[in-house]
Amino acid sequence: MSFDAPTVIKTKRDGGRLSDAAIDWVIDAYTGGQIAEEQMSALLMAIFLRGMDADETARWTAAMMASGERLDFSDLLTVDKHSTGGVGDKITLPLVAVVAACGAAVPQASGRGLGHTGGTLDKLESIAGFTADLTNSQVRQQLRDVGAAIFAAGRLAPADAKLYALRDITGTVESLPLIASSVMSKKLAEGAGALVLDVKVGTGAFMTSEDRARELAHTMVRLGAAHGVPTHALLTDMNRPLGLTAGNALEVAEALDVLAGGGPPDVVELTVTLATEMLRLAGVDGRDPAQTLRDGTAMDRFRALIAAQGGDLSVPLPVGACSESVTAPRGGTMGDIDAMAVGMTAWRLGAGRSRPGERVQPGAGIRIHRRPGEPVAAGEPLFTLYTDTPERFPAAMAELDGGWSVGDVPPAPRPLVIDRITG
Ligand code: URA
């Protein structure tokens, strides 16, 4: 059967189903460069608006998996986690080290920033010399020697790598079937023995409603099970940013604080909770993830991982050349801080991309000085914004405006982990 892009686009535009053969053709032809970017953009927007059913999503995922290599680590005890994307989400950095220190290996195929959310590779590349371009045998060797490797997902599910970059600049990120297939195609191709998903819900997440986030979690857990990979999901709050920083090098510094036994309590809590879930799913008993942060064994693993990938932590992390602060207009109590406002501020400062392949500024971002509920004195700095290009400040300040408040009463506490989905 022969296909052409305009017919496939019109089928989805008009609310039809894409057949298995049509999906296989689209993914294969797009990966091979036979479908133009503008045609794929139109199809993505049609999918964004019309959706895909469970069978279409499963086929789209399988076709993306089949577009590249599939790694096999069945001779090692491996487990991985993937987050659907949030603001200030640097959890992967301490997490892989904690899990490795507890005895399970983590093959972490990672991506770059998407929309207002940061990407693990962009963060790590703010460390001098760090490379995520590892060969398969380097990944395997590192899993044996260090217990973790963080590498560019590009060879796995290359269809996703192309689609991910296109979705980022065409307003088609926040689609349940596109997120589920994007995450699961690369994570299933990566060959980890088990998978834990951190499904974010809230203003700073791609799923803003709990119902949709829950549906996304169930879809991905089912896709994992269908491919024989035990998969659990945690639904976690993303109405507030995680920790006190958003931006590449700023987040690496905060991850190092956590690995040194300090750091913001929410980052520590989520790291330990996800590590516990990963170790349970991998069948590793009797290890206390929190202890590895206290006794320095997780930090040792992280340093070994960075060194194995060419990074030099003795070189100071970059800081944006220009900074501006936002000060408290009155005394009182810090109110809620909106995750989307903080994410968009960091993005406007240069921490993310607005064109494909654009270089991100490693030192750009935002530091939060007061957590929700903390006392605030009139005139004290609440946020510091960093960038190398000060002409970005007005737009960044405008994003932050209205995303926080100082009041008389502390905001209601929010549980960080909302639910656990296991099947
Ligand atoms: N993470 C991914 O890998 N893909 C998405 O689409 C969203 C988050």
Same domain? For 307 and 326 the reply is no
Segment 72-85 mean pLDDT: 96
Is the same domain home to 306 and 341? no
Instruction: Select the more confidently predicted residue: 112 or 57.
Output: 57
**Atom in ligand 1 nearest the alpha carbon of residue 111:** 3
Share the mean pLDDT of the chain: 96
User: In angstroms, what is the span from residue 197 Cα to ligand 1's centroid?
Assistant: 11
Question: Do 89 and 141 lie in a common domain?
Answer: yes
Q: Which atom of ligand 1 lies closest to the CA of 206?
A: 7
Say which of 112, 155, 162, 186 is annotated catalytic.
186
Q: Is residue 258 within a helix (H) or strand (E), and if so which, with residue range?
A: helix 248-259
366 HSE (CA, 13 A, CB side): 34
Q: How does residue 243 score in pLDDT terms, banded at 50, 70 and 90?
A: very high
Residue 114 has pLDDT above 80, yes or no: no
Mean pLDDT of the region 377-397: 98
Same domain? 341 vs 307:
no
Average pLDDT on 4-28 reads 98
HSE-up of 22 (CA within 13 Å, CB side)? 18
Q: Give one DSSP letter per residue of 290-357, joined into a string.
A: HHHHHSSHHHHHHHHHHHHTT--TTSPPP--SEEEEEE-SSSEEEEEE-HHHHHHHHIIIIIS-SSTT
Which residues lie with the beta carbon below 6 Å from any ligand 1 atom?
Answer: 84-85, 111, 114, 164, 178-179, 182-183
Model confidence at 356: pLDDT above 90: no
Catalytic residue among 24, 122, 160, 198: 160
In 273-283, which positions are buried (b, 16+ CB within 10 angstroms) versus exposed (e)?
bbbbbbbebbe
**Residue 286, domain member (yes or no):** yes
Catalytic residue among 167, 367, 370, 392: 167
Give pLDDT, residue 374: 97
Looking at the fold, whether 92 and 130 belong to one and the same domain comes out as: yes
Q: What is the pLDDT of residue 1?
A: 77
- What is d(CA 376, CA 263) in angstroms, rounded to the nearest whole number? 20
**Closest ligand 1 atom to 167 CA:** 6
Residue range 123-155, pLDDT digits in tens: 999 999 999 999 999 999 999 999 999 999 888
**Residue with CA closest to ligand 1 atom 5:** 179
pLDDT band at residue 256 under the 50/70/90 scheme: very high
Assess if residue 96 is contained within a domain: yes
Q: How many distinct structural domains can be found in the chain?
A: 3
| CATH number of domain containing 285 | 3.40.1030.10
Residue 358 lies in a domain: yes
The answer to the question of residue 58 being in a domain is no
Which domain CATH number covers 359? 3.90.1170.30
For residues 241 and 102, membership in a common domain is answered with: yes
Instruction: Please give the pLDDT value at position 129.
Output: 98
* 138 shares its domain with 233: yes
Domain end marker among 293, 314, 335: 314
Compute how many other C-beta atoms are within 10 angstroms of the C-beta atom of residue 262.
13
130 and 150 belong to one structural domain: yes
Residue 161 located in a structural domain: yes
In this prediction, residue 247 has a pLDDT band, given cuts at 50, 70 and 90, of: very high
User: What pLDDT, on a 0 to 100 scale, did the predictor assign at position 116?
Assistant: 78
* 154 and 22 co-located in one domain: no
The pLDDT value recorded for residue 392 is: 98
Give the span between the Cα atoms of 376 and 94, in whole angstroms: 30
What was the pLDDT predicted at 115?
Answer: 75
416 part of a folded domain:
no
Is residue 160 part of the annotated active site? The answer reads: yes
Mean pLDDT to the nearest integer, 99-108: 98
In the predicted model, is pLDDT for residue 12 greater than 80?
yes
What SS3 class is residue 151? strand
Residues 357 and 272 in one domain: no
> Would you call 67 a catalytic residue per the annotation?
no
CA of 146 to the centre of ligand 1 (A): 26
Is residue 204 classed as helix, strand or coil in its secondary structure?
A: coil
From 401, 416, 299, select the one nearest 344 (Cα to Cα).
Answer: 401
Q: Which of 12, 82, 162, 353 is catalytic?
A: 82
Residue to mutate (ligand 1; options 120, 168, 179; most atoms within 8 A of CB)? 179
User: Would you say residue 65 lies in a domain?
Assistant: no
Is the domain of 45 the same as that of 109?
A: no
Model confidence over 275-295: pLDDT tens digits? 999 999 999 999 999 999 999
Q: Are residues 165 and 260 in the same domain?
A: yes
For atom 1 of ligand 1, the residue with the nearest CA is 84
What's the CATH code of the domain at 23?
A: 1.20.970.10
Please give the distance, rounded to the nearest whole angstrom, from the Cα atom of residue 235 to the centre of ligand 1.
15
Tell me, yes or no, if 182 is annotated catalytic: yes
414 is catalytic: no
Q: Is the pLDDT of residue 181 over 90?
A: yes
Based on the residue annotation, tell me whether 185 is a catalytic residue of this protein.
Answer: no
Q: What mean pLDDT comes out for the span 167-195?
A: 95
Query: Which domain does 206 fall in, by range?
Result: 79-314
pTM value?
Answer: 0.96
| Ligand 1 atom nearest residue 182's Cα | 4
Q: How far is the CA of 181 from the centre of ligand 1 (A)?
A: 8
For residue 371, pLDDT over 90 is answered with yes
Q: Is residue 168 part of a domain?
A: yes
- Locate the ligand 1 atom nearest the alpha carbon of residue 178 and give its number: 6
